[in-house]
Amino acid sequence: MTISDAFHIYDTTLRDGAQQEGLNLSVHDKLTIARHLDDLGVGFIEGGWPGANPKDTEFFALAKKELKLKNATFVAFGATRRPNVKAADDVLLGALRDSGAPAVTLVAKAFDRHVDLALKTTLEENLAMIRDSVTHLRQEGQRVFLDAEHFFDGYRANRDYALEVIRVAMEAGADVAALCDTNGGMLPDEIANVVHDVLTATSARIGIHCHNDTGCAVANSMAAVAAGATHVQGTLNGYGERTGNADLVTIIANLELKKKQLVLPPNALRESFRISHAVAEVTNISPSALHIRPACMHPQSKLIHSCINMKTLHLLETICACWSPKWQGVHLSN
């Protein structure tokens, strides 16, 4: 089934999620997880950074032969060209071009301080790096998304420059500019205000990429969608560095069940519980919370449709058993 392009569920479990402490995925593991994600029906699966490390390079080579996706588009991740190098001559950009992935996500500096300290170049050259890289990959026939790294920090420090990063990327042919809360420090009201301002100031198609350091990654993602974002990045089970990324299972359930916004193929959400735990078996890291399958819920129940912890789960089972005979002997964790 072809998934609508009007709203994107973009999974980065295999790249950003793989930075979870204690998680070490083999190439075979990554293939297995990619198939599970495709079964769930996400729109995009980010496979990793080909050319940057041997494992991801091997994975992309093998994926060309063995990974047959029925729902998702396969995405390669990488950075814009290096300072003062032509895009066509940049080795890592060439690896993205040759990866076989129909789409590429480019990470770019949106915080002026990082342009100076990390890239050690000028603000003008950083914009040229974004423009040249997006233009080059578009000319090679690949769809391009931009991850605006540390966007919210950059926005606070220098709003005009952060907005110019978005404008340049879109003018060069990027489909989406994902605003990244890279250090996970934002709150929902702040996210909503910034997303609204960026949409008003640039007319770009905006995405959101949240980390969970404040415990608000899901809430922040939902706030961004409410403000107009139509592309949500996250990981299965919330895997990721430090405290993790926005949990796509929870976000999808909230969008479909609470907001009545269908973002997966019909009935695919029913499989989220099974797939969540199938991936946990591969990673050997349990989900931070247990996801309830919508099919398990009583038709009249308006209880939590996203995720709850095990202690709360047992409490709900007890309450429901007292509430109605239909719940006697029912285990939500089945």
H or E segment to which residue 105 belongs: strand 103-109
d(CA 110, CA 148): 5
Give the predicted TM-score (pTM) of the model.
0.86
- Domains belonging to the chain, first-starting first, are 8-288 (3.20.20.70), 296-327 (no CATH)
Q: Mean pLDDT throughout 310-328?
A: 52
Q: Give residue-wise pLDDT tens across range 168-185.
A: 999 999 999 999 999 999
Q: Mean pLDDT throughout 73-94?
A: 97
pLDDT of residue 291 exceeding 80: no
Confidence (pLDDT) at 313: 52
pLDDT of residue 322 exceeding 80: no
Are 96 and 75 in contact by the 8 Å Cβ rule? The answer is no
d(CA 134, CA 35): 28
Q: Mean pLDDT throughout 312-318?
A: 54
pLDDT of residue 161 exceeding 80: yes
Mean pLDDT, the chain, whole residue set:
89
Confidence (pLDDT) at 4: 83
d(CA 314, CA 77): 41
Nearest to 317 by CA among 299, 331, 300: 331
H or E segment to which residue 334 belongs: none
Confidence (pLDDT) at 286: 80
pLDDT of residue 301 exceeding 60: no
Confidence (pLDDT) at 25: 95
61-65, 168-172, 291-295, range with greatest mean pLDDT: 168-172
Q: Mean pLDDT throughout 135-156?
A: 98
Confidence (pLDDT) at 288: 55
| HSE, side-chain direction, 13 A CA sphere, residue 214 | 17
Give percent of the chain above pLDDT 90: 83
Strand 8-11 versus strand 231-234 pairing type: parallel
Are 96 and 80 in contact by the 8 Å Cβ rule? The answer is no
Confidence (pLDDT) at 318: 54
Residue 87's Cβ-count burial label (10 Å; 0-12, 13-18, 19+) is buried
Q: Give residue-wise pLDDT tens across range 181-210.
A: 999 999 999 999 999 999 999 999 999 999
d(CA 49, CA 28): 16
Q: Give residue-wise pLDDT tens across range 45-55.
A: 999 999 999 99
Q: Give residue-wise pLDDT tens across range 221-280.
A: 999 999 999 999 999 999 999 999 999 999 999 999 999 999 999 999 999 999 999 999
Confidence (pLDDT) at 306: 40
Confidence (pLDDT) at 1: 52
Q: Mean pLDDT throughout 11-37?
A: 96
H or E segment to which residue 273 belongs: helix 272-283
